[in-house]
Amino acid sequence: MAEPVDLDRLKDDLLAQVSAAADSPALEAARVAALGKKGALTQQMKSLGGLDPEARRLRGQALNAVKDAVAEAIEARKAALAESELADRLERERVDVTLPVRPERVGRIHPISQTMAEMVAIFCEMGFTVAEGPDIEDDFHNFAALNFPDGHPARDMHDTFYLPDRPAADGKPAERLLLRTHTSPVQVRTMLAEKPPIRIIAPGRTYRSDYDMTHTPMFHQVEGLVIDESTHMGHLKGCLEEFCRSFFGVEDLPLRFRPSYFPFTEPSAEVDIGCSRADGQIKIGNYGDWLEILGCGMVHPNVLEACGVDSSRYQGFAFGLGVERPAMLKYGIPDLRTFFESDVRWLKHYGFLPLDIPAPATGFGS
């Protein structure tokens, strides 16, 4: 049993210990020394039993007051310590975000990624949103819904890679899946999933069994689709003109719309941009020669109907833009096949430093 001690002194002692605690463990030690099972105040409480009732009441009250004061001081000290510990930690872990990056360590952005990001940025600024679909498709999304009838020669034009037949199972019929030959199946997926008005672009990989100087079996496209009640061919032309001029940074870039054929658009057109081929070098601009860069047209009513869109009310346009060719033209990359050879030296030369990306959406010449 502890001897009764002078409470004012005890209080001063304990408060001094609390305020001297320099960190959380020291504060916890001070708390245990005062209020713990064997703490000074707890010991004093235990000694109350030996007093007569009136003395016990008075001393009990006084002890409780000391206890409250100490507990309060501990809480206050705790909050102050937490604050200064946080401040210390913030200071220790401070990051100077203005320091230059060390780009060498984190590799390069592939020109295809860079080019697609630029294309996406330009279309997004016009109000398009990005949609995606799978690389592995079925006949319905890649062909049938896009108005390619069974046995239609346009199917052969696509040199499709087919996956091994998938036998009928779980109540699903046998199916032959394929690698999508264009990004147009994303049109179908979007129209099946969303109601008009629709305004999407779909960047992604596409596949055709083709390999020579100007073809690789995997390549990239950016699809565009606009469906509403009033969009017409004039909007299509304006949209693509704006895009091409912004992408190539040539304000007076001429565009030529040549009649063409795609099963899923009517009328259909191929778009050429102005260029020059002087000295065996292609230069983009108003030089009198032409270079094809994309296919487009007004969405065929059969496609709208196959996708559950009322073709008597809705109409719109679609386009499919290659990525590799514009990338080669814009960045002076002479050979298509080098894109996919995974040669680090090539990437070091043609790749882009992260955070060093030209901002295509800020206007011409930027």
**Contact residues: ligand PHE, CB under 6 A:** 182, 184, 262, 265, 295-297, 318-320
Nearer Cβ to ligand PHE, position 30 or 240?
Answer: 240
Helices (H), the chain: 7-20, 24-35, 40-46, 53-92, 111-125, 139-142, 153-157, 185-193, 233-248, 301-306, 324-331, 344-350
Cβ 319 to ligand PHE, closest distance in Å? 5
Nearer Cβ to ligand PHE, position 184 or 231?
Answer: 184
Nearer Cβ to ligand PHE, position 296 or 306?
Answer: 296
* Residue 135 DSSP code: S
d(CA 256, CA 239): 13
Which residue of the chain is nearest ligand PHE when measured via CB? 320
Cβ 312 to ligand PHE, closest distance in Å? 21
Nearer Cβ to ligand PHE, position 42 or 260?
Answer: 260
Nearer Cβ to ligand PHE, position 111 or 295?
Answer: 295
Cβ 167 to ligand PHE, closest distance in Å? 30
Cβ 188 to ligand PHE, closest distance in Å? 11
Rounded to 5°, angle at Cα 116 from 111 and 117: 95
179-209 in b/e form (b: 16+ CB < 10 A) is bbbbbbbbbbbbbeeeebebbbbbbbebbbe
Cβ 212 to ligand PHE, closest distance in Å? 17
Q: How many helices (H) and strands (E) does the chain have?
A: 12, 10
